[in-house]
Structure 1
Amino acid sequence: MKRYQGRIIATALAMTFIMFWNYLFYGILGNQINWTVDLLFTLVTLVSVWWLTLYIDESNQLVYKLKESEKQYKELSAATNRIMDNLQEIVFQTDRKGNITFLNQAWTTLTGFSVEESLGTMYNDYFDHEERISNHLMSRLKNREQEGRIEVLYHRKDGSKFWGEVHYKLYYTNGQFTGSLGTLTDVTERKNTEMELLKSNQRLAMQSQKLAMAGQLAAGIAHEVRNPLTSVNGFLQLMKSEYPDRTEYFDIIFSEIKRIDSVLGELLVLAKPHQVQFKKIKINSVLQQVTTLLETNAVLSHIEIEKAFQKEGKEWEINGDENQIKQVFINLIKNGIEAMPDGGKIKISSEKEESFVKISIKDEGGGMSEDELAKIGEPFFSTKQEGTGLGLTICLNIIGAHNGELKVDSELGEGSTFHILLPLDKAAHCEKSQEFSHAT
């Protein structure tokens, strides 16, 4: 109806005007009616009015459509802006010169710069002009590539920095670069994690080199020292019988020779590869044997060994070398005994943790500092005055050969807890799971 509104109103007005005119011309002035002329005049007038007001109606319709389009555009623009402003990622656009032409509010949140002050500035005003970045972009533009990704270290307004991952698209018209559009995401946490992992790998590589050097040294020391040491020990035994009044001095010498031989023995463990014979081992049984073996030493040192692993139905099985696993437990329990010269308590427990059995050995000694914890496992590092620094290194090698892991919790004055995680025997684990499912 709105399409004909102007024509209907104009035609009605024209009819009213013609009727009024006829009333004046014929009724008041008394002129004679000429129906042919009068009808023709009326018809021409009405057609002319209808035809003229047709353009008015079309103009009104065009204006109405323009207003509707403008309203829809504003609503769409407002919705787009709301979406852009609520995005966590920065959305940017640049022209062919690299000037920033669009930014969303995430830019202000992440960098501290307002959108208004940043529009019109160069894209590279917010990070160091690294040759790496320039070469990357020049290569993309030279090859007419349409998209890419790069990590850049950005500067915030307060002077701090963050790592940003930029995904961008490059646009060309007739082969000429015309601008770019892309997103910028804060990846500082991921980048820091990658750097920490890299440092950790470097530390592990250095530790591996140290272990390799220790192995080479061990082979040389064992070969060059052990044979003459045996000769010295033999001659001293002969001399001891000739000087019975110097027995205490010879005892000290033999004690030190024995200590040297012990150190050489530990070095040989690192240097000489042992053939490992894997078989099913019941962890709680092994722990019971080791604690029984060491309980006498513990009692002499006024130390109580508390066992928290003898629980019915909790006999965890692993696949490994029993002698080597025993050596790990013996070394760690002895360390706990030596860490408490004034007596105390050592608690030994075992429990299932996912697909691993976790054995925990906790002492009430002096504990270790963060620096000491960082050096745990390094060859020749020891917290004991007379320690060789090879015991934990050997333990780590054995646990690693069993696809396990050693974790240490320690605090100065609070004691230390060593957690050994060893993978459960898969076959035994599956059998227990099936037994449980059948029982249920």
Structure 2
Amino acid sequence: MDTRFPFVDWFRNSSPYINAHRGRTFVILIEGEAMARGRGEQLIQDLALLHTLGVRLVVVFGIRPQVQQALDELGLTPKRHDGRWVADQAIMGCVERVAAEQRLWLEARLSLGLPNTPLHGVELTAVSGNLVMAKPLGVREGVDFGHSGEVRRVRASAVQGLLDRGSLVLLPPLGFSSTGEVFDLDASEVAQHAAMALGADKLILLGEAAGLHDDSGALQRQLTPADAEPLLAHAEAGSEQARHLTAACAAARHGVARTHLLSWHDHDALLGELFTRDGVGTMITQHRYEQLRAAELGDIGGLLELLEPLERRGMLVPRSRERLEYEIDDYLVIERDGMVIACAALHCFGQADMGELACVAVHVGYRGGDRGALLLNEIERRARRLGLTALFALTTHTSHWFFEHGFRLAEIEALPPLRRDTYNHARKSKVLIKSIV
């Protein structure tokens, strides 16, 4: 295969996602550390590309390190309590100045259109304003937080109107009150409330960490809020992990379909997460991105595509579309983002109290993740509910996998009579049986 242009294959494979994301609303948080460490230019190019592809963008930007630097230069040390600093008049002056400078810098970079630059020819209008209403944190545990505040509401109709006109909306970590005051807000809270108010399709949080990892260091690609909340309980107050997990879990519970935790250190993170099937970070969602479920007639095309390579290699007996349609109620599938990546079937032989475990298949790109064992466990549960006492399988290539999961060799005579009569002696499949009592 000609691999001179690997980008071309990637581009072809990304086309379903380009179509899926067009017209969708994404709220993207870029923490201030990304800008402070020189990642702003690359991220702005990626944002411009998303805008060009028809994504409706709301961009929230953090300013914590920039404000800290300004305070250090002035010799000011803010008091901190419960992960937030106490914003008195002097500190709030720094916050307002830095927020304005950062917004102007972003607007300038989003306007860049010189020849030989990535944004050449892109007409991108960036708009900001008094779009987030806030209220003071007030006095908590005896501490007066001054101008530190929390989000009261996001003016969703105003933001939607700007998005409808093709604008990219910029939201600084500032909020305004009906009394004309300005409050310092946490950027992740602004992003969370914006996503919830807009009913965003995605909330994307770009921070230091490349998603969440388990105790062995493996990336956890998908979690529900219930899965993530124990991690939140152990996170340090005010830390990035605490702030991002709070935003992600709340957004998921209030209708935001998917929240993605990504690292701005990874130059490919944003596009890699959005335009590849497996992504690069952790996704928090109420709805399972990968789910095991009963097969439906709409899965026939995916099943045929999954099984054909294995049938061609002689590992599975060929199954026609008509046969799959007739037996569809016997099948379980594992679906990942709309693609059937694994399947198994249970064919019942009630007179013998036995069931055939058939057509166990996992897509070559998703092996090694215990999906076969997951299917087997669900087949066994289904068989027990039907009153069966044993499973059998016929295999030519994968007997060791069955041995590892409790099956033993048996003779053809151990098969139910109906299955014994249809046994293909030319294939010489091994007969394996497992008791499930």
TM-score (norm 1): 0.23
Structure that is richer in strand per residue: 2
Structure that is richer in helix per residue: 1
TM-score (norm 2): 0.23
Structure of higher CA gyration radius:
1
